[in-house]
Amino acid sequence: MLTKRMLTALFLAPLVILGVLYLSTSWFSLIIGIMACVASLEYCMLIKLNGFSNKSFYIIVLLVCAFLFAVTPSYLEYLLYLVSAWWLFALFVVIGFPNNKNLLNKNMVLSLSNGLFLLAPMVASLAILHSQDRALVLLLLFLIWAADIGAYFSGKHFGRKKLCPQVSPNKTFEGVYGGILLAQVVAISYVAIIVQSPKMNDFLVFCFLALVVSLVSVLGDLFESALKRMSGQKDSGRLLPGHGGLLDRIDSLTSSAPIFLMLVVFVV
């Protein structure tokens, strides 16, 4: 399994980096939109939304929401606050799982709304970040990858205390600490390489960004794991060898992208 994960990552990572650097924002947004369509189909499977017309209509609504999110800068602040509030709700679901799982698996309207919050803000946030500064998109991706890699190896070698065993039995606090540490290395390297004549404040700000992204990426992963637990699925799909479905691969990005954008807009 680890070999498949590594081979898939080594194949996809350069393509993602090249896409971020060389695609226009329009093409980049189109590809992100297509990814969201695939992920939304996987999400429909998790919440047991059946029927071609139902799924098609849901995807259209999701893309329209993402478009409106991206093209309404005057309301961006309020939308980001709304998304942040929804992720607090997701945190409540994860912490209280499985006692409060009925909030999701017995309410289709809420499940559909959760899918919109899960995917539409991610698409819009990535498009906005790409239009402003492509280096920030790469920074976000590197932070998420670093947090994931650091958590995996730190948890594997030092993991003792379970983080959220009812949702994801393999995740540990030690893994989270390792992910945070490696993300800090990425943030410090980014400032040293990209920022001209960096000051101590620059390092502090980007280290704070790395800390928040590291923690929020774990929440995105855990929330998707909770959805899979409720649906009885091990993976959201089989698209990526060793990784499961596309939603499995971008779960950390769903939570990190809008929170990262909010911090970039209002902090950096």
Residue given tokens 């070698």 in the structure block: 157
Q: Render pLDDT for 61-120 as a digit per residue (tens, 0 to 9).
A: 999 999 999 988 888 888 999 999 999 999 998 998 888 777 666 678 888 999 999 999
pLDDT of residue 157: 86
Q: Are 152 and 98 in contact (CB under 8 A)?
A: no
Judge whether residue 232 has pLDDT over 90.
no
Cβ count near 60 (within 10 Å)? 11
- Half-sphere CA count of 151, side-chain side, radius 13 A: 22
**What percent of the chain is modeled with pLDDT above 90?**
59
Q: Is the pLDDT of residue 126 over 60?
A: yes
Instruction: Please return the burial class of 190, using the count of CB atoms within 10 Å of its CB with bins 0-12, 13-18 and 19+.
Output: buried
Mean pLDDT of the chain: 88
Segment 137-148 mean pLDDT: 95
pLDDT in tens, 5-64: 666 667 788 898 999 999 999 999 999 999 999 999 999 988 888 899 999 999 999 999
| Best CA proximity match to 210, nearest among 134, 153, 159, 146 | 146
Helical residues (DSSP H) of the chain, grouped into ranges = 2-22, 25-46, 52-70, 76-96, 102-105, 108-132, 134-158, 173-194, 200-231, 246-266
- What are the boundaries of each domain within the chain? 2-266
DSSP 81-112: HHHHHHHHHHHHHHHHTTTTTHHHHT-HHHHH
